[in-house]
C-alpha cells in the first residue's frame, strides 16, 4: 500500500465512522423521547436501562443503516475530492482508473467483513437484549400490538420420527406453558401418552420441569399408568425451538437459525421462507456494502455541475431503488414462490450490472 491508498482509506473510514456515530446519537435521542414513559414505568435505573436495552439497540441501529451510510460516506468524501480537483491529477500522473479504485475495494471489503461477522454473532445477541426489553416493557402497553397479536399461543410440533407434542398457552418470554402432552406412536398405534398440567424450562438445569405428570404406557391388552408430582426431563427441543414472536429470526445466530429452519421444515411449519430470507441476507448484505462502495466511488469520482449536492441526490435515488428492489424480492418470497436465496441476492445481482455499466462509462 502506498500513500495514495492510505490517503483515500483514511478519508473513507473517518467519514464513515463519524457519520454513523452522529446518526447513532440522533437515533438514541429520538428513541429516548419516544420511550420515556416506558422507561419510567419499568422502574429500572439509568444503568439498567443502558444494559438491558441500549446495549442491544445501538448495534441494531448501526447494522440497519450500515450499507446506506457506507454509500453516503463514499459519495461525500469522493465528491469533495473531485470538486477540489484532487482526482484529475492522480489519473493524469499515470495512475490507472482501476488502480485508483484499489483503496475503495480494500475499504469496502474491510467494512463488509465487519458487517458479515456482526451479522453472524453480534447483531443477533444485541437483538435478543433489545427484543426482550420491548416485549416486557413496551409491546405489552401497546394497544395496537395487543389488537393485532396472534392470540393463539398453542404449539403443536414433531419431536422426532415417532413422537409428537403440544403445549397450551406457551409463553416464549418466561419459557413456560400450561397443559403439555406428548404422544409416542409406533406402527400407527399410540404406545405412550404423557400429560402434565404445567411445563417450565429450568435455566439452571437446562432441562424441562413438568408438574402433575401422568404417563400411560399402552400394551396390547392393558395399560400402565404412572403419576408423578414433578418430572425433570431432557427433551431434544429447547425454548428457542418454540419461539413464535416477531423477533424470532432476529434473535438467533446464524447457526441457531439454520437449526431452527431445519426443525421447522421437519414439522411442516409455515412461514419458513421468511426465516430463510433472513439467513441468506446476512451473507448478502456485506456484499451490498462492497457494491455500494464501488458505485459510490465511480459516481462521485467525476466532477459535475452541482458538486456534492448532485452526487448525494444521485446517491439517494440509487439507495431508494436498492431498498425498493430488496422489499419487492422479500415480499415475492414470503408471500409467493420465489426461492429465498434468490430473493436475498436479487438486489446484489442487479447492482453488479449497474456497477459494471457505470465503470465502463466512467471517464478514465
The predicted model gives 41-57 an average pLDDT of 88
Distance CA 270, CA 267 (A): 9
- CB under 8 Å to 217, separation ≥6 — which residues? 191, 192, 223, 224, 225, 226
Task: Kindly state whether residue 262 falls inside one of the protein's structural domains.
Answer: no
Name the pTM for this structure: 0.74
Q: Are residues 215 and 300 in the same domain?
A: no
Average pLDDT over residues 21-37: 91
| One domain, residues 93 and 69 | yes
Partners of 231 in beta bridges: 210
pLDDT in tens, 80-109: 888 888 888 888 888 888 888 899 999 999
107 and 13 housed in the same domain: yes
Least confident of 12-26, 126-140, 347-361: 126-140
Predicted local confidence at residue 355, as pLDDT: 87
Q: At what angle do helices 254-267 and 123-133 cross, to 10 degrees?
A: 70
Is residue 253 one of the residues assigned to a domain? no
**C-alpha cell, 334:** 414470503
pLDDT in tens, 144-189: 344 344 444 678 777 777 888 888 888 877 888 889 999 988 888 8
pLDDT of 148 reads: 40
Angstrom distance (rounded) from CA 339 to CA 332:
9
What is the H or E stretch that residue 102 is in?
helix 97-117
- Mark whether 160 and 16 lie in a shared domain: no
Distances (CA, A) of 143 to 140, 174, 177: 8, 21, 24
Cell of 319: 439507495
Determine the structural domain holding residue 219 and report its residue range: 155-243
Same domain, 13 and 101: yes
CA angle 85, 297, 111 (to 5 degrees): 130
Residues 8 and 101 occupy one common structural domain: yes
* Residues 135, 174 within the same domain: no
Tell me: do 31 and 130 sit in the same domain: yes
Among 190, 222, 243, the domain-final residue is 243
Residue 143 CB contacts under 8 Å (≥ 6 apart), including other chains: none
Spell 93-124 as b/e; 16+ CB within 10 A means b: eeeeeeebbbbbebbbeebbeebbebbeebbb
Residue 129 near residue 53, CB atoms below 8 Å: yes
Mean pLDDT of the chain: 84
Amino acid at each position: 500500500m502506498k500513500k495514495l491508498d492510505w490517503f483515500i482509506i483514511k478519508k473513507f473510514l473517518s467519514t464513515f465512522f463519524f457519520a454513523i456515530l452522529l446518526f447513532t446519537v440522533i437515533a438514541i435521542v429520538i428513541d429516548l423521547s419516544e420511550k420515556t414513559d416506558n422507561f419510567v414505568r419499568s422502574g429500572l435505573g439509568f444503568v439498567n436501562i443502558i444494559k438491558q436495552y441500549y446495549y442491544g439497540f445501538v448495534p441494531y441501529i448501526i447494522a440497519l443503516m450500515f450499507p446506506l451510510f457506507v454509500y453516503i460516506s463514499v459519495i461525500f468524501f469522493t465528491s469533495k475530492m473531485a470538486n477540489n480537483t484532487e482526482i484529475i491529477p492522480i489519473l493524469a500522473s499515470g495512475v490507472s482508473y482501476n488502480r485508483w479504485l484499489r483503496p475503495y475495494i480494500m475499504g469496502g471489503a474491510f467494512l463488509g467483513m465487519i458487517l458479515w461477522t456482526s451479522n453472524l454473532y453480534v447483531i443477533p445477541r444485541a437483538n435478543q437484549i433489545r427484543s426482550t426489553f420491548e416485549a416486557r416493557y413496551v409491546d405489552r402497553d401497546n394497544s395496537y400490538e395487543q389488537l393485532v397479536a396472534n392470540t393463539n399461543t398453542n404449539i403443536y410440533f414433531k419431536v422426532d420420527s415417532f413422537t409428537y407434542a403440544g403445549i397450551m398457552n406457551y409463553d416464549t418470554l418466561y419459557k413456560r406453558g400450561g397443559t403439555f402432552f406428548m404422544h409416542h406412536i409406533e406402527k400407527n398405534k399410540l404406545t405412550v401418552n404423557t400429560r402434565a398440567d404445567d411445563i417450565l424450562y429450568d435455566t439452571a438445569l437446562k432441562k424441562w420441569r413438568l408438574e402433575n405428570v401422568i404417563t400411560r404406557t399402552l400394551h396390547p391388552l392393558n395399560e400402565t399408568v404412572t403419576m408423578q408430582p414433578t418430572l425433570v426431563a431432557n427433551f431434544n427441543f429447547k425454548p428457542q425451538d418454540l419461539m413464535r414472536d416477531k423477533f424470532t429470526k432476529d434473535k438467533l445466530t446464524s447457526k441457531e437459525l439454520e437449526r431452527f429452519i431445519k426443525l421447522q421444515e421437519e414439522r411442516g411449519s409455515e412461514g419458513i421462507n421468511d426465516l430463510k430470507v433472513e439467513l441468506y441476507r446476512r451473507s448478502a448484505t456485506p456484499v451490498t456494502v462492497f457494491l455500494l462502495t464501488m458505485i459510490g466511488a465511480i459516481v462521485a469520482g467525476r466532477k459535475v455541475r452541482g458538486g456534492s449536492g448532485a452526487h448525494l441526490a444521485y446517491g439517494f435515488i440509487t439507495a431508494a431503488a436498492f431498498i425498493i428492489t430488496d422489499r419487492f424480492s422479500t415480499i415475492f418470497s414470503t408471500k409467493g414462490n420465489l426461492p429465498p436465496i434468490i430473493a436475498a441476492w436479487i438486489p446484489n445481482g442487479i447492482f453488479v450490472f449497474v456497477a459494471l455499466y457505470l465503470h465502463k462509462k466512467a471517464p478514465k
